[in-house]
Structure formats: C-alpha cells, structure tokens
A and B are shown apart, each in its own frame.
Chain A
Amino acid sequence: MNSDQPDAQTLNLHCPSPIEADCIQLGHGGGGQLSSQLFNEVIAPRFANAELNRGHDSALLNLAGADVAFTTDSYVVNPLIFPGGSIGKLAVFGTVNDLLMAGARPQYISCSLIIEEGLAISTLGMILDDMADAAREAGVEIVTGDTKVVERGHGDGLFINTAGIGVREWPGVIAPQSIQPGDCLILSADIGRHGLAILAQRQGLQFDAPLQSDCASLLPAVTALFDAGLEVHCLRDATRGGLASVLVELAETSGCRFDVRESAIPVSPVVTGACELLGFDPLHIANEGCFVAAVAPEHAEQALVLLRQQAVSGSCALIGRVSEAGDGKVYLETPLGSRRVLRRMTGRLLPRIC
C-alpha cells in the first residue's frame, strides 16, 4: 500500500450505515451486506431471544429432553426447473442441509405451496415428484403442509416454504460460536455452479461446457465426518451471498480471524470463465451443495480423506485456518502473495458494464 493512505484501522470501516431506502429492494434478499442489515436492524430486534441471536442456520432446541434442531426456509427461483434441479429439489435439500449444518440428522419436513393462478398442473407435478425423490434420498418424510393459490401476476409461478426438524444425535454444539483458533477451514466442493446455472438459464447465456446447479443433499458428506467421530466445530452451507458472505459471517460471529488462500478455493474452469465474462467474483455466487467446515487441526487430514470419498464433496479442499488473533475478519491471500480483506457482496449480483 502506498504511504499516503491512512491505516484502515483508523477509518472505522465497521461503522453501521443506516438503511436509507424507504422500501425493500431486491438487494435486501441477495444474502450480502444489505440482507445482513435488514436482519440485524429490522427483524432481529423485534424477535430477540438467545436462540435467534446465535445466528445459526437452525435453532438448537431441547424438547422434553430431546436435543433437536429446527429450521425454515422459503424458496423463490425463476426458472422453476433449471439444469441440475428444480425449486422442489432445492426446497427439500435446502432445509435438509440447514439441519445438517447444525449437526442434526434431518427427520421431518413441511411443505407449504404458494401457487400462482395459471401454473400448469403438469409442471407442479414434476416439481412435487422432485420433492418426493429428494426426501427419499435425504431420509426425511414430508409430514405436513399447506396450499394457497394467488392471482395471476401475484407470484412467480410457485413459491415453496419448507420447515424441518432433526435430532442432534452427534455430540457437541455445532455452531459459529464453537469455532476455535487453530481450526482448519475446509470447503466441501467447488463453488459458483448454482448461481451461474440459474443466471445462464434465465438470461439465455450459453457456455462451451454446460453449467449445472450443484443442488444436492449434504447428508453423505456430513454423516461421514460425524460417524468417524471427528471434532467438527462448525458447519455452514455457502448458499446466498456465496462463500464470501459465509466466511465473513462466521469470522464476525466467532470473533476469530480467518486466513484463507484464494488459490486453494476450488472453482471449475467454466465458472471461472463465466465470472470473468460477466464481471462476477466466484466467491459471491450462490451454491446449493457445498459447505464450509471448521475442523480441529488434528482431524483435518482425515476429514479431507472422508469427504473425497463422497460424490457431493469429491472436490473438497483445505482453504485456510482460523488464526490466534481475533479481529473477526477474513484475510484472503491472493495467488500473487498480496493480501486483502474479504467482504460480503453488497446487494444483489449486478453484471459489470465492460
């Protein structure tokens, strides 16, 4: 850095700026900085409780002596059916994965459908078939649900909400607060496939190699880690906002400093190429089949071996470490040996002009 620039520490870079928009913009749903502000400043203060404040993918509850995890998620995606999956598959695997990220074995999920007038029943049928197949694969049952129909123009074909409950049968509290200095950061698969597959389908973009969503159940990967008795401190799937948002959020919540090597992050050539073309950073692209694990250093090598044996995590990699110093930031070492602070995406992904 040149000498005339003030030290970043003196700039108070974490001073919260007010939400000046007087209404919700699409960026508030992008999983980046605006989403985080909306949750922290508008939603969380009104519902505040210890479990919500944990900021985890699932709530960790004790019901009549049983340790369970409980989660919910809504799925809005256009197109409803895309290369590598559909909104139905997403709605089951997304909720299943959120339970797994809390160290719980998924058991039961709900299914609420908000259907727009005019949706072809054959399309709905295909999506529900996908949900049934996904539930079977993940070992969960869809045991309750609801159906609403809204007027044409008031929904994007179909919105699905699922909630899920699972049993925390593995020991320890798997949560951001359990991350410890020295932990190894493992990424379970190459990033960027889901977000770009959706974008390419929506915009009619074509690439030499077809882009497919990575939408998948993380059950085989997570059970491989826990059944081997490995000391896993935290799991987080890198969905909306991409790997960058997840790493920043975990570092902030744990108060630890993360050191990540950019060259260690697996990205397929087609994703790299598409991102270069559109002016995106692969670290900001949504995924639906990969997660970050903070694992005790003595178990990291074995974790990588076990993950490589599973199809869903065959391209896993050790991407960094949790450092002793605790400034709650993520430092990315570039392939050229320089270093920068990793930040969340701001709003939604918008392609660059040129």
Chain B
Amino acid sequence: MKYLREYRDRQLVEVLLEKISATLTRPWVLMEVCGGQTHSIVKHGLDQLLPASLQLVHGPGCPVCVTAQETVDQAIAIAGRDDVIFCSYGDMLRVPGSHQSLEGAKANGADVRVVYSPTDALLVAQENPQRLVVFFAVGFETTAPASALALAQARQSGVQNFRVLVSHFLVPPAISAIVEGAENSVQGFLAPGHVCAVTGMEACQELAARYRVPIVVTGFEPADILLGILHCVEQLERGDAAAENQYRRVAGDDGNTVARKWVNEVFEIAGQNWRGIGTLANSGLRLKSEYEAFDAAPLAAPPVLDADQRDCISGEILRGIKKPPQCPHFGTRCRPEHPLGAPMVSSEGACAAYFSYQ
C-alpha cells in the first residue's frame, strides 16, 4: 500500500539500523512521546532490532491513558442518566473508572455509542432532539480541532441538546514535566508527528532551547521512527540540542493554522488533571465562556478519589520511569480483558502494546 510499504521496507530499515549502530558511542535514553509510536515500535519489534545501549522509554502520549480516572467516573455518571445518549471514541469504552468502564455502564443499560468523530455525535444530537447528546472530547492537539469544529457547528446551527465532556490535553507541558521530574533519565525526545502537524515546530523549538534537549518530530512507521532515532542520536553524540522535523511529509513547520484557529475560537488553555501524574498547569483545554452552554461537566460532579487507592503505576509508566513488565501486576492481575489502569486499555497504551506484542 502506497505511503506505507516504502516506510516498512526491510532494506531501508536495515540501513537505518546500521547507521544508528555506527553513530552510537555510548548509551542514550530516548523517549517516544506518542502512544502511536509506542504501538509501532512494539508491533514491529523495533526494540529487538536496536542496539542494546539505546534505551527507548515510552511517553505520555496516549489519549486513553492520560484521561483522569475522575473524568472517566464523571463520564460514566453522565452516561447513566436516562436523558443522555453518551457518544465516545471506541477505545475509551474499556478504560476502567473507579468501579466500572463505559462498556460496563452500557451493559447495565446506559445508552453509550461509539462514534468516529465529534461531528457524528452532533448528528446523533440533531436526530434525537428530545435527548441530551454528550460527546466525550478526549485527546491531544490532534483531536481538539475536530471537537472545536463540532462545537462551532452546534453553536452556529443552534443545536440545544449537544454537550461535550472536555478532557483535552496539550503535549508540551507534559514534556516539561518529564524533563523537570527528579527521576528523569530521558536525554532526547521523539516528538509526536501528528501533534506537530497541528502545532507546528514552535513549541518544540522552545522546549529544545529551554531544556537543552534534542527533540525530533517523528512519524509512526518503522523507517520514520528509526530516522527520528538516528537524528536524535546524532545530535546527542555531537552535543547538540535542537528541534528538528523529520516528518515533513505530514507535519509542516508552521503546522495547521486553520485547525489552530478553530481550537482558539472554542477553547482556552487551562490546567489539566493527567491520570497517574496529577494536575499540570496550562496543560489542557477548557471551553471559552461563549461555549459554556455546551459543557457537560455540570451534568454530574466528578468524584474525589483517594490517590492511594489504585494499584496501577500508570504515573511512572507515563513519565517513562518504569516499563510495563516492571509492574508487579503486569500480565497477571492486569491484562487487556481486565485492565487495572488505562495503559493496558488502548492498543496505544504502553502496557497493552507490551502485552500484545511481546
């Protein structure tokens, strides 16, 4: 298949692996930020092919994994209302809240529907004027523009029964939190190509300059990831710390200005609660006052959780401090069919990727 086959070409991969080996003179620790990259690395077994002195740790870039348990509980409470049709992206359905998942709520009678885009949820609202239709707006800079567009359309067409439960996250503050963390071992970052396709290079340039760390915007196919690693390692070996774009076929240096315009029209930057990490300042989006009428949060209050009640070490996983097999519950009490935490849920989650492919 065009645009896939050439980036999965074995010869090309072997050439890149040889170059990486030839460049390395000492051990380095890199983080791939996006869950899609983690999935690809483990699915294609790239970690088996790379030199042992190069360590890849998996970052916080899986939208399913970072959505706070409190937010999932709130979503389940809203979905349980008789007057609500709750629409969600598919892989949010299995994320465990404190007591059950949205899929469990559905089995108990909640009207939970899988949609492929927020505009599909808006259509459900237009087709069901007597019910409240709530869309679970999760994800990073990649999914926020679609949420914004659906909200702008809803406002423009005067749809009264459409709501969104917003849990949008921003990647750069998470990278800052990782670098500033006391236990940080990451020396270079593979930045998420699809996020940068929206944001452009500016945020990466700021981070690289502020923390003196190489950041390479990287794609998702095996050759993309190896090219990102190669350029990151080359910088580290030279002592450089720059932002580079190795995914120009998708991510322009200026990003997607139209998408950002819609996001800025509907959302403003706010603090956000990251699962397993906690609240980070300016790391999420909330609705602007003009769009407050669409906020689903007042439909059910989020619960207050005891931080110590969880067995999942997702915070350490998401910050790259531990790898999934280092969790005592990995593969035993915690499996994809019974996840203790979100990283075991989505195929982009580091734990699920390890479980499925190793």
Residues of A bordering B, CB below 8 Å: 1-6, 8, 11-13, 15, 17-21, 23-27, 32-34, 37, 203, 205, 269, 272-273, 276, 279, 334-341, 343, 346-347, 349-354
Contact = CB atoms under 8 A, between A and B. Distances in A.
A13 B42 CA distance: 17
Dominant SS among interface residues on chain B: mixed
Interface string B278-316: 000000000000000000000000000000000000000
B358 A340 contact: yes
A13 B334 CA distance: 10
Nearest to B34: A354
A353 B325 contact: no
B114 interface: yes
Interface stretch (B136-144, B207-215, B266-274): B136-144
B107 A337 contact: no
Contacts of A12: 331-332
Q: Which 9 A-B pairs have the closest CB atoms?
A: A338-B45, A350-B90, A346-B336, A351-B90, A340-B357, A338-B48, A13-B331, A25-B107, A353-B89
Interface of B: 1, 4, 8, 10, 13, 36, 42-49, 52, 55-56, 63-64, 89-94, 100, 103-104, 106-108, 114, 116, 138-140, 142-143, 194, 222, 323, 325-326, 330-333, 335-338, 346-348, 355-358
A338 B44 contact: yes
A34 B104 CA distance: 13
B337 A347 contact: yes
Contact of B44 (A18, A23, A334): A334
A23 B45 CA distance: 37
Contacts of A2: 47, 52, 55-56, 323
A335 B10 contact: yes
B64 A4 contact: no
Contacts of A11: 325, 330-332
Nearest to A4: B323
Contacts of B358: 1, 8, 340-341
20 contacts: A4-B55, A11-B332, A17-B332, A17-B333, A17-B338, A23-B107, A23-B108, A24-B107, A25-B106, A33-B337, A334-B45, A336-B8, A336-B10, A338-B44, A338-B49, A347-B336, A350-B93, A350-B94, A352-B346, A352-B348
B165 to A, nearest CB: 15
Nearest to A279: B347
Contacts of B106: 25-26
Nearest to A35: B337
B349 to A, nearest CB: 11
B68 to A, nearest CB: 16
Given A11-B325, A339-B45, A343-B356, A18 B52 contact: no
A338 B338 CA distance: 28
A19 B337 CA distance: 9
Nearest to A24: B107
Given A1-B47, A15-B331, A27-B337, A336 B13 contact: yes
Contacts of A21: 100, 104, 107
A111 to B, nearest CB: 30
A5 B354 CA distance: 11
A12 B328 CA distance: 11
Nearest to B36: A354
B1 A276 contact: yes
A203 to B, nearest CB: 7
A335 B222 CA distance: 11
Given A336-B10, A336-B45, 12 more contacts: A3-B52, A5-B323, A6-B325, A17-B332, A17-B337, A23-B108, A33-B336, A350-B90, A350-B93, A352-B91, A353-B139, A354-B140
